[in-house]
Amino acid sequence: MAKPRKNRGLVAALLLCAAPLASAFDDTQIEALITKMTPEEKAGQLTLVAAVYEHEPSDNERQPGEPTAMQRQLNEIREGRISAVFNGIGANWARQLQRAAVEQSRLKIPVLISVDAIHGFHTIYPVPLAEAASWDPALAERVARATAVEATAAGVAWNLAPNVDIARDARWGRGVEGAGEDVLLASRFAAARVRGYQKGGRLADDDAMMATPKHFAGYGGAEGGLDYNVVDISERTLREVYLPPFKAAFDAGAGAVMAGFHEIGGIPAMANSALLDGVLRREWQYPGLVISDYAADHELVEHGVAADDRAAVKLAFMAGVDMSMTSRLYQQYLPELVASGDVPMTRLDQAVRRVLRAKRNLGLFDRPYGRMDTAREKRFSHTADMRALARESATRAIVMLKNDHDLLPLPRTGKRLALIGPLAGGPADLNGPWTVFDDRHDAVSVEAGLRAAIADPTLLSVTRGSDIDAPLEGGIAAAVAAAAAADVVVLAIGEGEAMSGEAQSRTEIVIPAAQQALAEAVAATGKPLVVLLRTGRALALTGAVRDADATLVTWFLGAETGHAIADVLFGTVSPSGRLPVSFPQASGQVPYYYAHKSTGRPPPPGPLKEYTARYRELTAAPLYAFGHGLSYSTIEYSAPALSARTMPWNGRLKASATIRNTGPRAVDETAQLYVHDRVASVTRPVRELKNFLRVHLAPGESREVSFELSRADLEFIGTELKPVAEPGEFDLWIAPSAVDGSATQFTLMPPL
Ligand code: BGC
């Protein structure tokens, strides 16, 4: 059994109620159950703990006769003190827990098995940020579905994903878990992932798992890009930027949500009744479960809003956090808080009701062992289909930033290739952060992928050159010699997987110095240079890395890394990814995102101008813009055409453009629709993505892409902090990136 590396262990209701309720266990039975429960059993239903295993190291310290950690956990389940367990694995392991719950506990309430399957379960797909670079939510839905099939076959019924935090500061390490900087793109991916995990609402099926968008809300806005740090954003920004992906996830039926570790505007998210009660429950009529992050209830003491754990529990629970993760503080304090009258029994019952409904919606009362079938587990682990999907999603995630003189694709034969860099091999650093049960030993390295793809493997030399963040003795000399002996250098550099993810903020978003030195030395040989850039965030590229002849952003691509890179490098597949985050010119520019405001002193494009909103050293332009990505063909865009110059208040407008493949290769092109509100009562971003479409174009083929817009697409958070649209002039682009294209104008007419 694999051991976790990280063993830390109205819409939903409408969706679920609209379909005939899959479970025979109805609300009346849930209420009957609640009346039978003791306060201790109720608190138990609100307790989520990390899994333990047979033969835990702590077992060695036990006195003779004392139970093992696993026996203790099973006993707690029998006593009704635990509702759910996370990051345990295997149908057999899960069956033991379920047996304790439904056969040996007083009330026979099924246990809920959960996991953090952020980008796959055993089979690892590209990190979520990479997947977002596909600009293909349907692909994300298929990956989430495949993840659910594999995880549920191993006992899981609940996923602590997707991460839907918008990330605009590349220093923040957790941007790798989300879908990038843009509100629309992130919202589409949030919804797609929820649909995939939850099987589009058929949650009671044995191969569906409940989704948990996280971390509610605004966690990605951490000051200085420092994980866990204070978030202090305006309510407008919160509503306009950070909340929409959550709303999209709930509209897609997400059954749970996780409150974040952070504070927002002085109130920790865990104690934030304006968010948890005001926005979630009242405005959005969200009927599902709210859970804490890892011991985040206790952290209210560290935040300094609760004097002790008892006060912390009261604060979090009364603010609306129904279930506590790992701290066991709800188990410890809730019965007594209810007895003393500090917490009303009605609130306790409400939270328990939500947990029981979630279990019911998952079909656990009817089929508690449905996801714990060893035959199914064998059949649906590591399937060939999953592996094929890992390769497909990985190829679609690769973004080609530049390709001077059409250096790529490389020929499979006749050229000597020098593969150089600390990220050439494996199995380390292929899968990326946030995998719990991955099988990293069978992830395909760049070296293995290239070897499998080229006609004559003796033409490939492999040299490490440096470590990820330290020079290797003789490394540069060996790399330079290898480069000198080759026709083309492929440099596999960037971040190790420990450099992004939770708690992995960086002060500078650069290539580590040892690798930069390696790149400079190799580039000085004058050999054509291809950079394969592995990263969990946007990077500020400089020197030889910036100036390479060709650059592919490969992120962390998971199990099929090497094959996917070879598919693109040798041209089996034309690159089709687009950046879901802007690449700035320098670290000092972050937070840096395309949908910024104009300011009163907008810097002109081109040369620096004094007394404008610019840094002394740099133009305001990105190194590579949001939405940018090249292919092995050339695509021409016509100017956008509009069905009319005006959009009636209650009407629609069609915007279209002809895109033509003028190059030699069939490619996928992603056309992006942007608008800009010229004059509004609240300042508006210089551009905002409103829609996009991926189209396949044969060589020479032209296609019209068209988008319909309505007033809803032009809404923003107005002066009263409510969504409004205002009549007036708009610019519109249909373009291959956030800085390309020519604008056309239309007017939103006032109501008649
Ligand atoms: C993370 C969560 C995760 C939890 C359980 C926390 O540290 O912030 O995203 O679900 O751990 O693994």
DSSP one-letter string for 406-452: G-PSPPSSS--EEEESTTSS-STTSS-S--SS--GGGPPPHHHHHHH
Structural tokens at position 257:
């949500």
Angle of CA points 329, 330, 334, to nearest 5°: 120
* Residue 384 placed within a domain: no
If asked whether residues 163 and 38 sit together in one domain, one would say: yes
CA–CA dist 77, 110 (Å, integer)? 9
Pick from 7, 87, 116 the residue to mutate for probing ligand 1's pocket: most ligand atoms within 8 Å of its CB.
116
Confidence band of 53 (pLDDT split at 50, 70, 90)? confident
Question: What are the residues facing 635 on neighbouring strands?
Answer: 661
322 CB near ligand 1 (under 6 Å): no
Average pLDDT of the chain, as a whole number: 95
Contact 678, 668 (CB under 8 A): no
602-612 residue pLDDT tens: 998 878 889 99
262 CB near ligand 1 (under 6 Å): no
If asked whether residues 265 and 342 sit together in one domain, one would say: yes
294-351 residue pLDDT tens: 999 999 999 999 999 999 999 999 999 999 999 999 999 999 999 999 999 999 999 9
433-470 residue pLDDT tens: 999 888 788 899 999 999 999 999 999 999 999 999 99
660-680 residue pLDDT tens: 999 999 999 999 999 999 999
What's residue 479's pLDDT? 98
294 CB near ligand 1 (under 6 Å): yes
Domain boundary (337, 369, 401) is at 369
pLDDT score of 14 more than 80: no
Pick from 176, 502, 504, 505 the residue to mutate for probing ligand 1's pocket: most ligand atoms within 8 Å of its CB.
502
Q: Tell me what the mean pLDDT of segment 211-221 comes to.
A: 98
If asked whether residues 169 and 257 sit together in one domain, one would say: yes
253-267 residue pLDDT tens: 999 999 999 999 999
If asked whether residues 363 and 426 sit together in one domain, one would say: no
If asked whether residues 401 and 510 sit together in one domain, one would say: yes
What's residue 608's pLDDT? 83
* Residue 579 placed within a domain: yes
What's residue 88's pLDDT? 86
If asked whether residues 544 and 644 sit together in one domain, one would say: no
If asked whether residues 155 and 115 sit together in one domain, one would say: yes
Confidence band of 151 (pLDDT split at 50, 70, 90)? very high
Q: Tell me what the mean pLDDT of segment 112-123 comes to.
A: 97
235-246 residue pLDDT tens: 999 999 999 999
Contact 135, 189 (CB under 8 A): no
If asked whether residues 121 and 68 sit together in one domain, one would say: yes
CA distances in angstroms from 660 to 154, 334, 470, 499, 626, listed in the order given: 47, 64, 47, 40, 22
What's residue 660's pLDDT? 98
What's residue 20's pLDDT? 41
* Residue 325 placed within a domain: yes
User: In CATH, what number is assigned to the domain containing residue 401?
Assistant: 3.40.50.1700
Q: Take atom 6 of ligand 1 and give the residue whose Cα is closest.
A: 294
Check whether the bond before 457 is cis (ω within 30° of 0): no
**Burial class (CB within 10 angstroms; exposed 0-12, middle 13-18, buried 19+) of 250:** buried
User: In CATH, what number is assigned to the domain containing residue 290?
Assistant: 3.20.20.300
Q: How far is the CA of 88 from the centre of ligand 1 (A)?
A: 14
Closest CA to 204 of 10, 42, 17: 17
What's residue 671's pLDDT? 98
* Residue 664 placed within a domain: yes
If asked whether residues 245 and 124 sit together in one domain, one would say: yes
pLDDT score of 4 more than 60: no
Name residues whose C-beta falls within 8 Å of residue 93's C-beta, 6 or more positions apart in sequence: 1, 51, 53, 155
Pick from 5, 257, 293 the residue to mutate for probing ligand 1's pocket: most ligand atoms within 8 Å of its CB.
293
Q: Tell me what the mean pLDDT of segment 110-132 comes to.
A: 98
- The minimum-distance atom of ligand 1 relative to the CA of 160 is 10
Q: Take atom 10 of ligand 1 and give the residue whose Cα is closest.
A: 160
What's residue 12's pLDDT? 39
CA–CA dist 502, 177 (Å, integer)? 9
* Residue 1 placed within a domain: no
Domain boundary (587, 610, 645) is at 587
206 CB near ligand 1 (under 6 Å): no
299 CB near ligand 1 (under 6 Å): no
- The minimum-distance atom of ligand 1 relative to the CA of 214 is 9
pLDDT score of 697 more than 80: yes
174 CB near ligand 1 (under 6 Å): no
- Quote the percentage of the chain above a pLDDT of 70: 97
Q: How far is the CA of 227 from the centre of ligand 1 (A)?
A: 12
* Residue 600 placed within a domain: no
Mark whether 251 is an active-site residue: no
Q: Tell me what the mean pLDDT of segment 566-571 comes to.
A: 98
**How many structural domains does the chain have?**
3
If asked whether residues 243 and 352 sit together in one domain, one would say: yes
If asked whether residues 737 and 704 sit together in one domain, one would say: yes
Helical H segments across 424-527, by residue range: 446-453, 475-484, 513-523
* Residue 602 placed within a domain: no
pLDDT score of 7 more than 80: no
If asked whether residues 415 and 351 sit together in one domain, one would say: no
Confidence band of 1 (pLDDT split at 50, 70, 90)? very low
Q: How far is the CA of 115 from the centre of ligand 1 (A)?
A: 10
116 CB near ligand 1 (under 6 Å): yes
Confidence band of 275 (pLDDT split at 50, 70, 90)? very high
3-state secondary structure of 630: strand
Q: Give the domain range for residue 565.
A: 393-587
Q: How far is the CA of 294 from the centre of ligand 1 (A)?
A: 6
Name residues whose C-beta falls within 8 Å of residue 340's C-beta, 6 or more positions apart in sequence: none
User: In CATH, what number is assigned to the domain containing residue 678?
Assistant: 2.60.40.10
* Residue 532 placed within a domain: yes
703-737 residue pLDDT tens: 999 999 999 999 999 999 999 999 999 999 999 99
Closest CA to 317 of 287, 357, 351, 349: 351
pLDDT score of 10 more than 80: no
Contact 689, 672 (CB under 8 A): yes
What's residue 22's pLDDT? 58
131 CB near ligand 1 (under 6 Å): no
Domain boundary (555, 587, 619) is at 587
